[in-house]
Amino acid sequence: MVGVSIGRTPRTAPAAPDPRGGGPLLSLALASMLDEIHGHSGALYLLAQDQPVLEMAVMAGMPRAFAAPWERVGLSAPIPVAQAVRERRLVWVGGEEEMARRFPRIAVVLPYPFALAALPLATPTAAYGAVFVTWPASHPPVLSDWEREHLTAACDRLAVRLERAAAERRPLRGESDLLPAPPAGGAPGTLGMVEAARMVMRLPYGLASLDLHGRISYANAAAADLLGLPVGELLGTRMWTSVPWLNDPMYEDRYRAALISQHVTSFVALRPPGDWLSFRMYPSPTGLSVRISRARAVAELGRRSVPVPGEGPSSLVTISQVLSLAGALTEAVGVQDVIHLVADEIAPSVGSQALLILGSQGGRLHVLGHRGYRNARAVEHFHGIPLTAQTPGAHVLSTGVPAFFDSRPQLERLYPARHAVRDGFAAWAFLPLIASGRPVGTCVLAYAEPHHFPADERAVLTSLGGLIAQALERARLYDAKHRLAHGLQQALLPSTLPRLRGFDTAARYLPATQGMEIGGDFYDLVPTRPLAAAVIGDVQGHNVTAAGLMGQIRTAVRAYTTVGQEPQDVMRSTNRLLIDLGVELFASCLYLRLDPVDGSAVMSRAGHPPPLLRRPDGRVRVLDLAGGPLLGIDASATYPTTRVGLAPGSVLALYTDGLVESPGVDIEDALAELGQRLGDAGDVPLDRLADCLVRHSAAARERADDVALLLLRARSGS
């Protein structure tokens, strides 16, 4: 055996690699890397064949159970190793706060102080996997230059060897994990060691030694007495499984926190009926020492000051997986987001090669999305199946009971109709998706090989089915709301811009990303003869009320224009209408009467941002127009007009404040920037100009408010 150490801690490493390529290449490379940079733990991933998935090949320094939620990781997952491969760069996370900010899914499961670096295993032509390395909380928040250089060089060397193995068609598989070697057993060999053991046995408080897996390798008599079990029944067991009143994930969490952060941790626990015990854990890279004593002061505070352990078995690894995937599902917005997330993260984490999500509507199943099915006809078979049909997908949804099939014969024995469906898979998990007590659909996970589903895996998958159902229900409501908002907005705004004599036009509308993605911004063109009109406005708010009022204002402006009112009268009439409606909402508005014969525009403004005029020579100025207050404030308000000449080639830019107003940016600077972009654009087609102005606007990218833009270019020879 080759002894590889990290700092002063021996780490068991595999034998030297076989020169023909059959040795433990990955284990030795990882152990050497950790040894060079004094890392605490790490893992090496390989890209799965024909799948965008990273699979953990070997882990070192920590039990693999600590990384159970990330044994298989989709390349699109927002976690460091996946990001490192996607972006082909080192990803550094300097501590607990940074982890919570950048990678909240990991922080939810491992809320402990530690530092992490993730690097790709890639050559200039291909990626082969990734590595992550962790350090305890004592590591500085910044990765040093020498650590960065050593890590990068080691990963580059390993990537070249992986490239060579791929070229020679030598398959690389997972290898034995590397954990620090336990202390040598056997009887003490000197009188001093014997006396030390006797001294520990005489101590009035309990002492126990745990290995990296949390198993008790030593306990003195006092520890056995305090825990209430003989030493013989404690050795080789985990404290939180062998001691009934410690069977709570909270206590196992303290052990994990101590090992990952390498900081001393402590907790108190109630030993029935009323004794409080104090546990203090002293970690090292090879395990933990635990001091157990009575905590009378805590007992006097009452039981409500410290959580009481729950009854029944629990598994922190299972909880970790569910927490991680639940956090991922909270980020899904629409139905397709849910499907992509389940396919990219949940299916790989449970070892599934294909996914099918079926929705329930009108008493039938409908395919909402799928991934991994090469035979499209096999997917079509599921579409439109009645919920009363004798198929596993319909049956689990109607009964609410999940079904697991380890092999194809097992499935076809219960459902003979499945003989006709050749999907190329050999095992299945059918999970009913039940939300708020009603069926939402069915999630089907398919496996390429026969797969045994033990009880704990069934429990995890069933829990995930509930989380997927909740996410799918939220997503369907969001999609319905989005379709409603989009349809309403489309109905209230012009579907196409009418042609105006003497003017080219273009318009853009973007809803706010907050709220219902519907708002009160509007624009319109009224092609009356001989004079035409243009209007742009902004009703306060971005919700259904604002959109409804916007529709009324747009209709009113069009009606007042059609009957021939002057610009100032159109504004006064619209103002009185808004006040008479009594909706207590205000609106800004800019109205233009366009004369293509003499090349001019008469403008009236009600609290609206001033338009920009780009002259044919490229110069841009802000038109400081006379105007009145916002519509809906003062029934007696007047709205004076301003006449502006429009030479052929001139461009008028009318916009709402969502295009220029951004938190922390002065409005004058934003207007100057908009004018600069308008002037620099040149004589491009108006549609390209509109896209340019919207695309380069910081306010439009943030979209805290609706954005409307209307461009008019005067033509020659009208």
What's the pLDDT at 97? 81
Structure tokens at 336: 């397709």
- Give alpha helix (H) positions in 139-216: 145-167, 191-202
pLDDT band, very low/low/confident/very high, at 204 (cuts 50, 70, 90): confident
Taking the C-alpha atoms of residue 84 and residue 132, their distance in angstroms, rounded to an integer, is 9
Cβ(11)–Cβ(35) below 8 Å: yes
State CA 37 to chain mean position distance. 31
Give the sheet arrangement for strand 206-210, strand by strand: 216-219, 206-210, 287-294, 275-284, 265-271
Of the chain, the end-to-end C-alpha distance in Å amounts to 91
Could you tell me which of 668, 692, 584 has the C-alpha nearest to residue 632?
Answer: 584
Give the pLDDT mean for 294-321. Answer: 48
What's the pLDDT at 189? 47
Backbone angles phi and psi of 251, in degrees to 5: -75, -40
For residue 103, is pLDDT > 80? yes
Structure tokens at 55: 């699979």
pLDDT band, very low/low/confident/very high, at 10 (cuts 50, 70, 90): very low
List, for residues 351-404, the tens digit of each pLDDT value. 889 899 998 877 888 888 888 888 777 788 788 888 888 888 888 888 888 899
Q: How many CA atoms lie within 13 A of 535 on its CB side?
A: 32
Is pLDDT larger for residue 260 or for residue 16? Answer: 260
pLDDT band, very low/low/confident/very high, at 318 (cuts 50, 70, 90): low
pLDDT band, very low/low/confident/very high, at 197 (cuts 50, 70, 90): low
* The residue type at 503: F
For residue 309, is pLDDT > 50? no
What's the pLDDT at 194? 61
What's the pLDDT at 17? 46
Cβ(659)–Cβ(693) below 8 Å: yes
For residue 481, is pLDDT > 60? yes
Give the sheet arrangement for strand 651-655, strand by strand: 503-510, 707-714, 651-655, 612-614, 620-622
What's the pLDDT at 516? 47
For residue 195, is pLDDT > 70? no
Give the pLDDT mean for 43-49. Answer: 91
Taking the C-alpha atoms of residue 97 and residue 111, their distance in angstroms, rounded to an integer, is 9
Beta strand extents in 486-622 (DSSP E only):
503-510, 521-526, 532-539, 587-595, 600-606, 612-614, 620-622
- Rounded percentage of the chain residues whose pLDDT exceeds 70: 83
Task: Kindly report the pTM of this predicted structure.
Answer: 0.53
For residue 495, is pLDDT > 90? no
* The residue type at 194: V
What's the pLDDT at 315? 46
Give the pLDDT mean for 119-129. Answer: 94
What's the pLDDT at 625? 87
For residue 71, is pLDDT > 90? no
Taking the C-alpha atoms of residue 429 and residue 462, their distance in angstroms, rounded to an integer, is 9
What mean pLDDT, rounded, does the chain reach? 82
List, for residues 437-464, the tens digit of each pLDDT value. 778 889 999 999 999 888 778 877 887 8
pLDDT band, very low/low/confident/very high, at 542 (cuts 50, 70, 90): low
What's the pLDDT at 505? 92
pLDDT band, very low/low/confident/very high, at 307 (cuts 50, 70, 90): very low
* The residue type at 29: A
Could you tell me which of 14, 130, 137, 143 has the C-alpha nearest to residue 67?
Answer: 130
Own/partner pairs, 455-459, CB within 8 angstroms, 24+ separation: 456/315, 456/318, 457/350, 458/402, 458/404, 459/318
For residue 184, is pLDDT > 80? no
pLDDT band, very low/low/confident/very high, at 199 (cuts 50, 70, 90): low
For residue 55, is pLDDT > 70? yes
List, for residues 685-696, the tens digit of each pLDDT value. 899 999 888 887
Specify the pairing of strand 600-606 against strand 627-628. Answer: parallel
For residue 610, is pLDDT > 50? yes
Is pLDDT larger for residue 325 or for residue 526? Answer: 526
Which residues, in sequence order, are CB contacts of 566 under 8 Å at separation 6+? 593, 641
Give the pLDDT mean for 587-591. Answer: 92
Give the pLDDT mean for 615-644. Answer: 90
Q: Helices 686-695 and 667-680 sit at what angle, rounded to 10 degrees?
A: 150
What's the pLDDT at 303? 41
| Least confident residue range of 13-22, 89-98, 494-503, 508-517 | 13-22
Give the pLDDT mean for 64-87. Answer: 89
Backbone angles phi and psi of 640, in degrees to 5: -65, 160
For residue 483, is pLDDT > 90? no
What's the pLDDT at 519? 64
* The residue type at 260: I
pLDDT band, very low/low/confident/very high, at 83 (cuts 50, 70, 90): very high
Taking the C-alpha atoms of residue 44 and residue 603, their distance in angstroms, rounded to an integer, is 68
For residue 21, is pLDDT > 60? no
What's the pLDDT at 717? 57
For residue 658, is pLDDT > 90? no
Angle value at C-alpha 664, between 662 and 669, nearest 5 degrees: 70
Q: Which CA distances in Å does 253 have to 157, 190, 315, 358, 500?
A: 37, 38, 10, 37, 70
